[in-house]
Structure 1
Amino acid sequence: MRFVLIVCAIGIHLSGFSGLDDADSLFRKKYIQDPAYIDDLTGKISFKLYTLNRTNSFTISDVGNNFESRYEPNVGSDLGLGVLYKWLKFGVSFARLGRNSPESTHGKTTRLDLQGHIFTKKVGADLSFRFYRGFYLSNPSSFNKDWKSGDKYPQRSDLRTVSIGASAYYVFNHEKFSLQSVYVQSEWQKKSAGSFFLGSSINTFAILADSAISPENFSNPSNQSKFFEEARMRSIAPLFGYSYTLVLSDHVFTNLTVSPGFALANTRLKEADGFLVYKKTNIIPRFGFRFGLGYNGPKFFGGFSAEYNYQEFKFNQGEGRFGHTRGQARVYIGYRFNW
């Protein structure tokens, strides 16, 4: 119950920022949304039921030897309920629908995954805190040629990851383009439109374990950084991308949002006794992706949406790579009431 209340409070607090759209503080003029392109539905109260499947995986690679270990959590889908009315937009997951794979073969993952999203008419923002414990190696055949489908996956119950992230961006063509229509459903995109957006993001990602978490083989075996048991990565990046909603018919739409780029990142590796064995700051690649497909009408609405973000951190003189993927996929159906 405590977890549910925390999520509700976060959702209500973040959604309150949508009230800032009444006036454009940058240009001191009344904000006008083109009604030929966007229908504002915030005056109706909406309820939606959704399933949510989250992703928080990572890879550790040895570039020189073309060697990669892939770690996945064994998580499943959650069932959630969302409410939309004027400035209030929030959703809370209240039931676990099981795991993606049996615990007997893939192990057990425990998690605390809190996420908040802001989609106003002109500004978008994302906040997240993720703690996961318990991973399995999803590519065991790369290590053991005798491994076959149906065998037990190698499991690391001691592996923990902590991920904290925040981003914000400004949508330039906000008079004709609506992110809320796709990812919140409080507006209705009537005609096809798109927009560039610009902002920034900051992220931190840590991997902790009770034993070595590096690959077993590295191009430079004398380097002590292959024996680390703790890895911490921090990054800051500009956000630049483009989002476009294609209206396929009066009620059916699809959206694609991409945000490629680079980040300034700091990587630190420590041994079990806490001794720092590697520390370096460099430029790394990053990529953000969102997709939506759905039906929007005066009363009924439904669809599918997904978002994923990827960053790749370097270590061991560039021979090592951490790849971190986080995201979620959602299927939803809802109904609007006149209020």
Structure 2
Amino acid sequence: MGDKTGGNTYRFEPNSTLNMGVGATYQNLTLNLAYGFDFLNPDLGQGDSKYLDLQAHMYPKKLVIDFFGQFYRGYHVANSALPGSASDRFTVLPDMHVRKLGASVQYLFNGEKLSLRAAFLQNEWQKKSAASALLGFEMYGGTTYNEGGMLSPSLTNEQIGRYDRSRFLEFGPNAGYVATLVIKRHFFLTGSVSTNLGLGYLSSFEGGQQETSWQVTPNLFVRGFAGYNSRHWSVNVNYVHNRVNLPSTTAYDNTIMTGNYRFNLVHRIAPGPKLGQSLGKLDSFLKSLRNRGNKPR
């Protein structure tokens, strides 16, 4: 949140967890199970957050599809960002809510030669460098809310303390570029960046007074992948960052940022006779569903 009156910027963050777990991928189906173990998440004093974070990043051959369904309660802001505060601890807002729903669909023009599945899902292996343009559409909507104001007036100026909730909706076209550099057939670097010019609506409430705003705002979507691929093993790291700039009001500029990063150690396993037979039945079932959906009506 950028306070135009005071010239300060406040970064609100939830106390989400660093998770570790296992997963399995078969063709284009993936299931991951992870848990935020205590030794990965020492108590830093930022308070507790409750959240449901649903993200799907799918990479069909010529498409890039992303879904977001995020419901967070409980945030904190560093006291070092507050005017006149000498403390390096945190101010906790246990009842602050942020909800975001959104989707992005992009066409991958060179999907025959560039595989994002090789970088993200590791169910393919890209052996040559390639690049492609991206073109698509995205939409986001949601709410922010904290009863009594985003920050207490006793901690900062009175005006920002009265700002307590907003509703937003944005939609519009996007364009981008993605490239993969392959080194000696096994090592790879993949980067993707796209921007969106969305028509956005924001309704905010300050001290019971409503202000609405319509604007065209630019958004940003960045992905980065790096690792090693071979016939049986893959080691890689990846990062996804989505930045949604909301229409500004008379007093504030607001941005909602979403990101996640992963480290993956993958071993590819050839199924044995019994598992191979079961997977063959699954293949036949999925094929029958696809054929049924393609029948003329």
Q: TM-score, normalised by structure 1?
A: 0.73
- Report which structure shows greater RCO (CA 8 Å, sep ≥6): 1
Deviations 1:128-170 (A, max 9, x none): 21111111113x2232544244xx3111001011111111111
Residue 262 (structure 1) shift: 2.0
Residue 98 of structure 2 corresponds to residue 166 of structure 1: no
Please name the residue that 2:255 is paired with: 323
Please name the residue that 1:86 is paired with: 27
- Does the 8 A contact of 2:175 with 2:196 survive in 1? yes
Residue 178 of structure 2 corresponds to residue 243 of structure 1: yes
Residue 149 of structure 2 corresponds to residue 212 of structure 1: yes
Please name the residue that 1:122 is paired with: 62
Please name the residue that 2:285 is paired with: none
Residue 91 (structure 1) shift: 2.7
**Superposition pairs for residues 143-222 of structure 1, below 5 Å?**
143-149=82-88, 152-213=89-150, 216-217=156-157
Cα distance in 2 between the residues matched to 1:191 and 1:116: 27
Cα distance in 1 between the residues matched to 2:223 and 2:9: 26
| 5+ long unaligned stretches in structure 1 | 1-59
Residue 39 of structure 2 corresponds to residue 106 of structure 1: no
Residue 81 of structure 2 aligns with an amino acid whose one-letter code is S
Secondary structure in 2 matching 1:106: coil
Please name the residue that 1:303 is paired with: 236
Residue 69 of structure 2 aligns with an amino acid whose one-letter code is F
Deviations 1:233-289 (A, max 9, x none): 1111212100001012221101110012321110011357xx561112111121110
Return the match for 2:73 from 122, 128, 133: 133
Please name the residue that 1:62 is paired with: 3
Cα distance in 2 between the residues matched to 1:148 and 1:248: 48
- Does the 8 A contact of 1:228 with 1:277 survive in 2? no
Aligned-residue CA RMSD (Å):
2.2
Q: 1:166 to 1:154 in 2, by over 3 A?
A: same
Cα distance in 2 between the residues matched to 1:228 and 1:142: 17
Secondary structure in 2 matching 1:154: strand
| 5+ long unaligned stretches in structure 2 | 272-297
Residue 226 of structure 2 corresponds to residue 293 of structure 1: yes
Residue 147 of structure 1 aligns with an amino acid whose one-letter code is A
Residue 44 of structure 2 corresponds to residue 97 of structure 1: no
**Superposition pairs for residues 15-54 of structure 1, below 5 Å?**
none
Cα distance in 2 between the residues matched to 1:240 and 1:73: 30
- Does the 8 A contact of 1:203 with 1:234 survive in 2? yes
Residue 209 (structure 1) shift: 1.3
Return the match for 1:254 from 172, 189, 210: 189
Q: 1:83 to 1:254 in 2, by over 3 A?
A: same
Residue 166 of structure 2 corresponds to residue 231 of structure 1: yes
Residue 217 (structure 1) shift: 4.1
Residue 245 of structure 2 aligns with an amino acid whose one-letter code is E
Secondary structure in 2 matching 1:337: coil
Cα distance in 1 between the residues matched to 2:163 and 2:83: 23
Residues matched between the structures, number: 267
Q: 1:123 to 1:277 in 2, by over 3 A?
A: same
Residue 14 of structure 2 corresponds to residue 73 of structure 1: yes
- Does the 8 A contact of 2:142 with 2:168 survive in 1? yes
Q: TM-score, normalised by structure 2?
A: 0.83
Cα distance in 2 between the residues matched to 1:127 and 1:276: 33
- Counting aligned pairs with the same residue, the percent is 26
Cα distance in 2 between the residues matched to 1:290 and 1:191: 19
Please name the residue that 2:81 is paired with: 142
